[in-house]
Amino acid sequence: MTIAPAKLSDPTVRALVTAINANDRDAFLALLAPDATMSDDGSDRDLLPWIDREIFGSHGHMEVQTEADGGRALVANFRNETWGEMRTAWRFTVTSGGRISRFETGQA
Position 1 scores a pLDDT of 84
Give the model confidence (pLDDT) of 62-79 as tens digits: 999 999 999 999 999 999
- Domains of the chain are 5-107 (3.10.450.50)
Q: Of 37, 106, 45, which Cα lies nearest the Cα of 74?
A: 106
Position 82 scores a pLDDT of 93
Give the model confidence (pLDDT) of 27-70 as tens digits: 999 999 999 999 999 999 999 999 999 999 999 999 999 999 99
In this prediction the pTM is 0.96
